[in-house]
Amino acid sequence: MPTQYILALDQGTTSSRAILFDQRGQVVAQAQKEFTQLFPQPGWVEHDPVEIWSTQAGVAAEATVKAGVNGKSLAAIGITNQRETAVVWHRGTGKPVYNAIVWQDRRTAQYCDELRAAGHEELIRQKTGLVLDAYFSASKVRWILDHVPGARAQAEAGELAFGTVDSWLIWNLTQGELHVTDVTNASRTMLLNIHTLQWDAELLALFDIPASMLPQVRPSSEVYGHTKTTIFASKVPLAGIAGDQQAALFGQLCTRPGMVKNTYGTGCFMLLNIGSEPKPSRNNLLTTVAWQIDGQVQYALEGSIFMAGAVVQWLRDNLGIIKTAAEVEILARQVSSSGGVYFVPAFAGLGAPYWDPYARGTIFGMSRATTAAHLARAAVEAIAYQTMDVLRAMQADSGLPIAELRVDGGAAANDLLMQFQADVLQSRVTRPRNTETTALGAAYLAGLAVGYWQNVAELQALEQADTTFNPQVDQGSIAVGIAQWQRAVRALQAWSQAPSPDISSSTPPTA
């Protein structure tokens, strides 16, 4: 038998990646390709599903070629993906009827307001563990059915399929043989009852979505089927699926209640393992499925911050004050503080624990002395302050002691951010040597399903912490910064609640 590996497909918001892992959980080869971000109108965010598939297929082939292996060397494939992003395609042709509507998209915010005004919010929260928000998939699917000519009639005739990105990838990997999703992705659609782990007929009726569109809900770790594409010469088991944040929680091996991780990606996502019972949140957090393995379900509390690494991208692409994302730390270190500047990066609204879809990014406290370095520092600190807000809400909801925050994602490589995070939280921040924990979680789930790894205890023996950040700064000075941050958020909320013109429908001025 040749040496075998696990291939993790990590389909993210801005890029598709493929990573090959060995039995020690080490990266053997990887490939990545960015894809187009589409912004048809203010507040709208779309992706081309065909480009998502083509880039993901391309990097899967590239990573295996880099490692000099073929399909026979792959013990299994695990998939992790951007969640809530909705794809609707034709079952006969396999072609999307519209672009994928991305989790960041706000076009259905008004529709969600109408559902709230009609008194549906509590029903949705009780069944799904989610807040009523445009962030989730259900209102996006409804929009496609209502706005794409002929789509609703096709859906009612059973001709259309809906899926989150994992379902779309598996459909293409099996040439239409499998239409499945796992419990973690299903729990983000606002259509799954997280108590029964079944699609909910009452919610489907509320959103007017035909049940025939939906994928089969499966556990996070089992063999779903085998590939049928030409990417691999031989069939490879498809054996693990989890939404990106749940995959990172598992990759960080937060397998016991009270263990918490934060992923600093495009957005910032914190998950706290709360055990086998779903607990409702009193602080605007989400109750979600963490994973289902061997019939056992674990739940998590989640706080979603919409703009984290994307703030750094904005400094790079829109302001041009840095050339690469890594430069933000160098620039921010040129000053010892933000100089009284506070940046609330609510470009796509405020997430947990505020859930204000109408908030927009704002910078407070600038003076003539403010420099690019102060803006960079304020941007870095904003990521940490938002994380603090979410962790405080989690502690209040769960009653669980939290001694450590495990971190991963691209921005976790920023030492300045990680140290400031420890200072603000006044608790330990631990960064693993391998920060590819999202892909690693998908690999672990797939590997467990095919016996590549025998159990979680074997995975825990592989664990290697890299860097620990302990609080260093005086609590008094940190408290001042926290108070000013909270003041900035309150000011932004006051602004967002004031009446404003509908810029999405306004006519641009003529020259």
Which of 236, 240, 216 minimizes the C-alpha distance to 292?
A: 240
How high is the pLDDT of residue 282? 87
The amino acid occupying position 397 is D
State the Cα–Cα distance between residues 249 and 442, nearest whole angstrom.
10
Predicted confidence at residue 500, as pLDDT, reads: 57
| Residue 59 resides in a domain | yes
Establish how many alpha carbons lie within 13 A of residue 432's alpha carbon, considering only the half-sphere containing its beta carbon. Answer: 25
| Residue 407, in any domain of the structure | no
pLDDT per residue over 123-155, tens digit each? 999 999 998 989 899 999 999 999 999 999 999
Measured between alpha carbons, how far is 193 from 370 in angstroms, rounded to an integer? Answer: 50
Q: Tokens 């005739």 label which residue?
A: 157
Residue 504 lies in a domain: no
- Helix-then-strand count for the chain, H and E: 16, 23
For residues 231-263, b (16+ Cβ closer than 10 Å) or e, as one string? bbeeebbbbbbbbbbbbbbbbbbbbebbbbbbb
Bridge partners of 264, per DSSP, are 268
Whole-angstrom distance, CA of residue 511 vs CA of residue 499: 27
Q: What pLDDT is attached to residue 192? A: 97
> According to the model, what pLDDT value does residue 401 have?
78
In a domain, residue 108? The reply is yes
Radius of gyration over every alpha carbon of the chain, rounded to an integer in angstroms: 22
DSSP for 459-485 reads HHTT--EEEEE---S-HHHHHHHHHHH
Residue 60 lies in a domain: yes
Residues contributing to the annotated binding site for sn-glycerol 3-phosphate:
13, 83-84, 135, 244
Which residues contribute to the annotated binding site for ATP? 13-15, 266, 309, 313, 410
Residue 363 lies in a domain: no
In sequence order, what DSSP letters do the residues of 215-242 get, joined into one string? PEEE-SEEEEEE--SSSSSS--EEEEEE
* CA distance linking residue 415 with residue 326, whole number of Å: 11
Q: Of 375, 220, 244, give the one whose Cα is nearest residue 304.
A: 244
> According to the model, what pLDDT value does residue 510 have?
42
In angstroms, the CA 459 to CA 27 distance is 15
CATH number at residue 63: 3.30.420.40
Residue type, 205: A
Q: Taking Cα atoms as reference points, which of 111, 104, 110 lies closest to residue 83?
A: 104
- pTM for the predicted model, two decimal places: 0.84
Residues of the chain with pLDDT under 50: 503-511
Q: Which two tokens stand for residue 474?
A: 């005086």
Q: With respect to residue 325, please indicate whether it lies within any of the assigned structural domains.
A: no
Q: Is residue 350 one of the residues assigned to a domain? A: no
Extract the tokens encoding 166.
Answer: 């994992």
Question: What residues are designated binding site for glycerol?
Answer: 83-84, 135, 244-245
Torsion of CA 430, 434, 436, 437, to 10 degrees: -50
Q: Please report the pLDDT score of residue 359 as a whole number.
A: 87
The residue range of the domain holding 176 is: 5-245
CA–CA separation, 464 and 495 (whole Å): 46
Structure tokens belonging to residue 252? 């960080």
Per the annotation, where are the binding residues? 13-15, 17, 83-84, 135, 244-245, 266, 309, 313, 410, 414
**Count of domains observed in the chain:** 1
Instruction: Find, among 305, 268, 299, the residue nearest to 398 by Cα.
Output: 299
* Annotated binding-site members for ADP: 13, 17, 266, 309, 410, 414
